[in-house]
Amino acid sequence: MSDQQRITVRVPAKINISLAVGPLRADGFHELTTVFQAVDLYDVVTAERAEGIALAVQGPEATGLAADDTNLAWRAAALLAEAGQSRAGVALHVSKFIPVAAGLAGGSGDAAAALLACDRLWGLGTPMAELDALAARLGSDVTFALYGHTALGTGRGERLSPISTTSEFHWVLAVASRGLSTPSVYRELDRQRQATGVPADGAAPDRVVAALQAGDYTALADAMGNDLQPAALALAPELARTLEAGVSAGALGGMVAGSGPTCVFLAQDRATAQSIARDIQASGTCRFAVAVLGNVAGARPATLPADQ
């Protein structure tokens, strides 16, 4: 049993630099080959000792988010308690800075952060391989949120191999004024594929991995791609204007992030990313745009004194 009263974990959003969607599997999921990168837009999850499980959600991106047992942070705590046969309770507090239903895996990140925070709070010392298995049960992107940096994901995205790169990656996120449900975007992709009989083949993960390893931004901009983009654009056609705004503002390349509707743009350097973010924001084609740094670490605990 740990004697710590409170654990705080910070967890980054993710982008998919390449997202190749294979056929629909018998279990209802698609076979994916994706290149994930963690970016420095963080949610913060705090876990405190309590009886039973309780959850509070606040912060600039918390609007409309349920603070009950449907929340992924709650589900993560409940799953860990069951797996670790722990009767200890937790009061979770989630500060949302990652927009919800934006394709940035904020919910998965909160689940990863809650797993780590509760494991530390309850003094369980769960081996990483077991945390990985619990993460995969909670959602396809939860495992990546535990590790962060840059990785190739296969299966549902939960089987990871790290990609090493020494370069800095500067991105701009253009966040839309509404969310898109991930299952509805996959359904639209299936519908489009059935209607045309042509499998989407826009994404080129191998070329993205090579460009990342070489630190070659031009090759990366050329290779990045997302098989879900046509489906996201069909459901949210206004994103075409956001993409145009980013490219006109000087981005090396732009695309829909994951299942959208966030759009992500690659920039040459930090100053250019900031100027692109300002220009996209001024174009009025998104709710807000922000420059972020890629390849940051995943969920990480930081212990605070009990009175903070």
| Contact footprint for ligand ATP (CB under 6 A) | 65, 71-73, 94, 100-108, 110, 141, 182, 258-259
Rank residues 249 and 255 by Cβ distance to ligand ATP and give the closer one: 255
Could you tell me the smallest distance in angstroms from the CB atom of residue 264 to ligand ATP? Answer: 12
Q: CB of 272: closest distance to ligand ATP in angstroms?
A: 26
d(CA 71, CA 173): 24
Cβ distance to ligand ATP smaller for residue 43 or 119: 43
For this structure, is 96 an active site residue? no
Residue with tokens 């509805």: 184
Smallest gap, in angstroms, from Cβ of residue 251 to ligand ATP? 21
Select the residue whose beta carbon is closest to ligand ATP and give its number: 107
Find the shortest distance in angstroms from Cβ 109 to ligand ATP: 7
Nearer to ligand ATP, 102 or 163 (CB): 102
Q: How far apart are the C-alpha atoms of 35 and 16, rounded to whole Å?
A: 6
Active-site choice (3, 14, 40, 119): 14
Beta bridge pairs of residue 6: 48
Smallest gap from Cβ 191 to ligand ATP, in A, equals 19
Give me the least distance between CB of 73 and ligand ATP, in Å please.
5
User: What are the CB-based long-range contacts (under 8 Å, 24+) for 305-308?
Assistant: 306/5, 306/6
Are 120 and 84 spatial neighbours (Cβ–Cβ below 8 Å)?
Answer: no
Cis peptide before 261 (omega within 30 of 0): yes
Q: How many CA atoms lie within 13 A of 29 on its CB side?
A: 13
Respond yes or no: is residue 14 known to be catalytic: yes
Which of 110, 119, 141, 227 is labelled catalytic? 141
Judged by beta carbon, residue 156 or residue 272, the one nearer ligand ATP is 156
Q: Which is nearer to ligand ATP, 156 or 211 (CB)?
A: 156
Q: Which CB atom, from 102 or from 121, has the smaller least distance to ligand ATP?
A: 102
Residues serving a catalytic function are 14, 141
